[in-house]
Structure formats: structure tokens, C-alpha cells
Amino acid sequence: MRNDHVTLRSTAVFDLLAPRTPAVPVKVELRYDTRDPYAVVAAFRTGRAGWVEWVYARDLLADGLLAEAGDGDVRIRPSVEDPEAVLIELNSPSGHAMFEASAQELADFLDRTYDVVLPGNEHLWVDVDEALTHLIPNDLT
């Protein structure tokens, strides 16, 4: 486990896509934290209500820049109509949203994460004992 914790942040604007309406720009903060080296957080600004965060695998983002990826709540794929864009589809029990984002901005953010933790080296940053203390109750009686 590594002790030199790093958090990367990047701000972007994704376009919220809906049928028969113009795209709506949404501010998004992308975060990568070495305390959870397998994950990326995308926090979507939702107006006065604050932020909605989605956590998904860093590998999913990398795969989605090249080809359709994901079979769960988060799906990412290159845009067929615009080679410089990526589509991000989010599904939850409360709804569905489709966003279009700059492939270059996402690739740049992903490259910055690789500068901190190389792919395949994520396990070097995981503190298994710390993770277990959060999963197992302290009071087992």
C-alpha cells in the first residue's frame, strides 16, 4: 500500500441529451482518488439541489473511449455522429440520462490518472485492513 495519497480533479461540461429538445450543458467534476484507485467519480451539478455523484470503474472510462463499454448502470461509447465525442449513459431506479462529452477531455483526465497510478498497479494503493474495518462491524456481539 502506498501512503502518498493524491486526488485529481477536473471540471468539464457535458451536454445532457434528450429527444426533440436542445442539449443542456451540465457542469461535471471528474475526480480520481488514490484511496479508491479502481474508480472514477463524476459529480454532476444539479442546480440548487447540489451535486449527484456517479462512481464507476476507471477501466470502464478507458474502454468506453474506444468502443461500447458497460452493461450496468453506466455505459460509455464513442459517438457515431461525432468522432470527437463520447456518449455516457446513466441508468438508475429514478431515471435515465444520456450525456455527450469531449473524448479529448476525458482522455486527458484519464492520462492524468495514469500518471499517478499505472493501470495494473491499483492493488499497490489499496489498504486491505482499512477496507475491512469499513465492511466488518466492530461490535460483533
Tens digit of each residue's pLDDT (9 = 90 or more) over 40-80: 999 999 877 789 999 999 999 999 999 999 998 999 999 99
Q: What phi-psi label fits residue 54: left (phi over 0), alpha (psi between -120 and 50 degrees) or beta? A: beta
CB 45 within 8 Å of CB 54: no
What pLDDT is stored for residue 94 in this prediction?
Answer: 86
What pLDDT is stored for residue 78 in this prediction?
Answer: 98
Helix, strand and coil percent figures for the chain, each rounded to 5: 25, 40, 35
Q: pTM of the full predicted structure?
A: 0.86
The span from the CA of 134 to the CA of 87, in Å, is 34
- For the chain, list the domains and their CATH numbers: 7-134 (2.30.31.20)
Tens digit of each residue's pLDDT (9 = 90 or more) over 22-51: 999 999 999 999 999 999 999 999 877 789
% of the chain residues with pLDDT over 90: 72
Q: Which residues are bridge partners to 78 per DSSP?
A: 86
